[in-house]
Amino acid sequence: MTKRTLRIALLLCDTPVSRLPFTRLSSANVISYLPFLRTLGIIYKVWLHTALASYPDKAIASNTELIIDAFDVVDRMEYPPNEKLIAGARDGYDAIMMTGAKYSAYDNTSWLKELIDFIHSVATTPETQHVKIVGICFGHQVVAMALGGTCVKGDNGWEIGVYGNEVTSEGRYWWCGDVGGQGKEEKHRDHVPTLPPDFHLLLKTERYPIHSMVKYHPSSTPSQPLAQILTIQGHPEYTPTIVSHMVDARSASGLFDVPTTTEARRRLGGKDGTGGEGFNRVGWAIWRMLLQDLPLHPVPSTNGHATDDVAMDVEYVSGDVEAGPSRVTDYIADQSRWSVIDKVLDRRGPWTDEVFLGGQQTKDVLRTKAKILVIGAGGLGCEILQNLALTGFNDIFVIDMDTIDISNLNRQFLFRETDVGKSKALVAAEFVMTRVPGVKVTPYHGKIQDHPPSFYMQFDIIIAGLDSISARRWINATLVQMVDEENPDSLKPLIDGGTEGFKGQARVILPTISSCYECSIDMLTPPTVFPICTIANTPRLPEHCIEWASVLEWPKVFKDKKLDTDDPEHIEWLYQQASTRAAEFNIEGVTWSLTQGVVKNIIPAIASTNAIIAASCCNEAFKLATTCAPSLNNYMMYTGNDSVYTFTFEHERRPECPVCGGENITAQVEKEWTLERLVEWLSARQDLQISRPSLAHATGLPLFFQAPPQLYEKTRPNLDKLVSELLPNGSQIVVTDPGLPFSLTVEIKYE
């Protein structure tokens, strides 16, 4: 079973009573004297660990790691950072838990107002509704105050010690059957008089009716209840010793009168002297909720949710018998689903690498240790995510900056019509985790360029399923620059996949060892390049007019507004400008569809090609992670136009590669060349793949800049000058381009 890490943000709302020095503690009585450790964080940590250790499902208990971060919300007003609460956050929190306190939830204090606002925000903001909330005693009351309920001082006096509970029909599911005889330590007088909106009652006591309640996640259904918020008025984390010292302190201060103190001491140990079942069945109920995975984005339920009078699709049992494990738990625990893959990993074969170990150690690497990043969640990325999850990778990250468009739905099968407009990465991650229980997919919505090298250093393998040449060049250059010869872990294999119609390729790049992406840039289809002087002065084709509108006119009119090629209004503006330009020069053929095709460089996408290339990429990832077979060395080409054809070869490193090579590019310039001719020569080079190069002296002084418009106008006269007038023989220039993630150094040599 995959090791699972559960992270809890513990909001400390009080400091327990302390009257004995820490030196009196020993390992034998540490639980009994936990209040003297002067921190609720220790008490809750021991409680949760103890309850987990006795959890009925031993497989879950032994494969769950608990991490608790404590925040002082009273004196320091500390809270979990927002970036650790949003969907897809690295090392983000799975749950928030609030402790008990000596305060009243209806107090008019600044720290309490902030706490209530914080809980309300986390519970109601879609981006954080996957974070579960647990309220204990005072936390139970704060939840009510934050979500439309109230908290008042009780008229029936204090509840102190162990009290039994009356269970509702829904409570039997969450509290492990009949809990009428179950008790836990109590210490409160304030209570929640009525259920807040959308909450369901689970437990009640004789004195106070709302003792435990649940609020379901928007994606919850009667057949699969998902708890977003679970609260309890009691103190399952307390032992009789803890409560006894608290009673002594409250009695000495005069807060408890003699009858209250006497009744409290009588009830301290419960029926058997252990203080109830806070460390057993009550603790298990909390764990049952914590172990649920909530969707990253809620899906509104059309049928509402189960109430006390609606039977859930769960087989309830009574007495001390634990309710049966869920189908999801069964599925995750069932290792037979990997039986076919295990045949490859359990034994050596004729093509097995010498370093292959096989057996459980190799399977653990694949299913518990390997961390893999998928760049792109489009046509290729959807196939890759599916394959990785079904192959056994359990810790997957995906990053994509795009949102879902209606045109994606014919091949990007992780998306539905209701997802249009949502983040591809977030929706894809949620879909895969729903369909393949046990797999964790962490999504990031944004550009790969927004993350520093340290972000990519955490991964074992990176798979690029990108449709952008500039993005592929960037990640390739970044991974090459990350390599430190003294640190083998800094070398991150890059598996690059790409498709165009019926053609595709997959390759394995070992930065600084094998050829990199830049080494093969000349194999790409040449970009359509129009000389800047042609589109500015003498257009002859409809494409010239469209390029003029997008490259020159748009920046001139909209100085601070970036062109969005996916915005129909932007395309319409370009079309109108290009049509006017074409009419001036008697050029025909400018259409709306041609305008869109030119500015977006539309490439046809075919689902079958995506499936084949994705399968190859994931196969290579599987081989790299397990060493069960030699990896691809290093390039595979596929064509499916007339028949299915593949060809594998080793692409060699290019010595003058600007990324992994050590030589500069040399330009053999004829003396009659103008600077414009040099710009055209650079644009036409297949091994550079640039379309709008800007040139500068090695000192940084501009020679010719394509943008911004002010610099273009200032440096444009240099285009008509001879290169020999501007640069001496042997001088170096720096070339930049929007499609380059780096700058090029070019040495000028005159023939």
User: What DSSP assignment string belongs to 651-704?
Assistant: PPPPTT-TTT----EEEEE-TT-BHHHHHHHHHH-TTT--SS-EEEETTS-EEE
CB 129 within 8 A of CB 120: no
Residue 87 DSSP symbol:
T
pLDDT at 332 over 70: no
Helices and strands of the chain, counted as H and E runs: 24, 25
DSSP reduced 3-state for 250: helix
Which tops the pLDDT comparison, 47 or 278?
47
Instruction: Please name the residue that has the structure tokens 């009290």.
Output: 163
Which tops the pLDDT comparison, 173 or 404?
404
What pLDDT shows up at residue 36? 34
pLDDT at 246 over 80: no
pLDDT at 621 over 90: yes
When pLDDT is averaged across residues 152-163 and rounded to a whole number, the result is: 72
Q: Of 3.90.740.10, 3.40.930.10, 3.40.50.880, 1.10.600.10, which CATH number belongs to 4-290?
A: 3.40.50.880
Alpha carbon distance 610, 503 (integer Å): 9
Instruction: Please name the residue that has the structure tokens 């290019």.
Output: 654
Q: Of 3.40.50.1220, 1.10.10.520, 3.30.470.30, 3.20.20.80, which CATH number belongs to 532-600?
A: 1.10.10.520
β-pair partners for 647 = 637
pLDDT at 311 over 70: no
When pLDDT is averaged across residues 257-270 and rounded to a whole number, the result is: 65
Alpha carbon distance 466, 400 (integer Å): 9
Neighbour tally for 259: CB within 10 Å: 10
Radius of gyration for the chain, computed over Cα atoms and rounded to the nearest angstrom: 33
Which tops the pLDDT comparison, 668 or 276?
668
Task: Pick the closest to residue 720 from 673, 680, 685, 667 (CA basis).
Answer: 673
DSSP 530-580: --HHHHHH---SHHHHHHIIIIIIHHHHSTT----TT-HHHHHHHHHHHHH
What pLDDT shows up at residue 227? 92
Band the pLDDT of 334: cuts 50, 70, 90: low
The per-residue pLDDT for range 518-570, each reduced to its tens digit, is 888 878 766 566 667 678 878 888 989 999 999 889 988 888 788 888 788 89
CB 228 within 8 A of CB 215: yes
Assess if CATH 3.40.50.720 describes domain 360-524+604-649: yes
The domain locations on the chain are 4-290, 360-524+604-649, 532-600, 665-750
Please classify residue 571 by burial: count the beta carbons closer than 10 Å to its beta carbon, then call 0-12 exposed, 13-18 middle and 19+ buried. Answer: buried
Instruction: Please name the residue that has the structure tokens 């046509």.
Output: 379
Band the pLDDT of 185: cuts 50, 70, 90: very low
Give the Å distances, CA to CA, from 550 to 178, 316, 350, 557, 595: 70, 66, 57, 11, 10
pLDDT at 369 over 80: yes
The per-residue pLDDT for range 56-102, each reduced to its tens digit, is 777 787 888 888 888 889 888 889 988 889 877 778 899 999 998 88
What pLDDT shows up at residue 504? 93
pLDDT at 660 over 60: yes
What pLDDT shows up at residue 651? 92
The per-residue pLDDT for range 122-157, each reduced to its tens digit, is 999 988 999 999 999 899 999 999 999 999 987 777
Tokens of 411: 């091949």
When pLDDT is averaged across residues 98-114 and rounded to a whole number, the result is: 90
When pLDDT is averaged across residues 677-702 and rounded to a whole number, the result is: 83
What pLDDT shows up at residue 38? 40
Alpha carbon distance 29, 226 (integer Å): 37
What pLDDT shows up at residue 666? 85
CA-angle at 653, arms to 649 and 659, nearest 5°:
135
pLDDT at 404 over 50: yes
What pLDDT shows up at residue 34? 34
> Does 13 qualify as catalytic in the annotation?
no
Task: Give percent of the chain with pLDDT exceeding 90.
Answer: 27
pLDDT at 717 over 60: yes
Band the pLDDT of 301: cuts 50, 70, 90: very low
Task: Give percent of the chain with pLDDT exceeding 70.
Answer: 81
Angle between helix 281-290 and helix 40-53 axes, rounded to 10 deg: 90
When pLDDT is averaged across residues 184-213 and rounded to a whole number, the result is: 81
pLDDT at 240 over 80: no
Top-level CATH class of 665-750? Answer: alpha beta
Task: Pick the closest to residue 230 from 296, 295, 294, 163 (CA basis).
Answer: 294
CA dihedral 723, 726, 728, 734 (to 10 degrees): -80
What pLDDT shows up at residue 698? 80
Which tops the pLDDT comparison, 273 or 194?
194
Alpha carbon distance 544, 552 (integer Å): 11
Q: Do 4-290 and 360-524+604-649 agree at the fold level?
A: yes
Tokens of 661: 């090579």
When pLDDT is averaged across residues 177-200 and rounded to a whole number, the result is: 69
Q: H/E/C letters for each residue in 364-423?
A: HHHHHHCCEEEECCCHHHHHHHHHHHHHCCCEEEEEECCECCHHHHHCCCCCCHHHCCCE
Alpha carbon distance 282, 240 (integer Å): 16
Neighbour tally for 242: CB within 10 Å: 24
Band the pLDDT of 461: cuts 50, 70, 90: very high
Q: What's the mean per-residue pLDDT of the chain? A: 80
Band the pLDDT of 493: cuts 50, 70, 90: very high
When pLDDT is averaged across residues 259-270 and rounded to a whole number, the result is: 63
DSSP reduced 3-state for 455: helix
What pLDDT shows up at residue 309? 33
DSSP reduced 3-state for 338: helix
pLDDT at 258 over 80: no
What pLDDT shows up at residue 582? 92
pLDDT at 244 over 70: no
Q: Distance between terminal CA atoms of the chain?
A: 68
Q: Which of 533, 545, 657, 660 is catalytic?
A: 533
The answer, yes or no, to whether the previous bond of 634 is cis (omega within 30 of 0) is yes
- Window from 58-62, 229-233, 243-247 with minimum mean pLDDT: 243-247
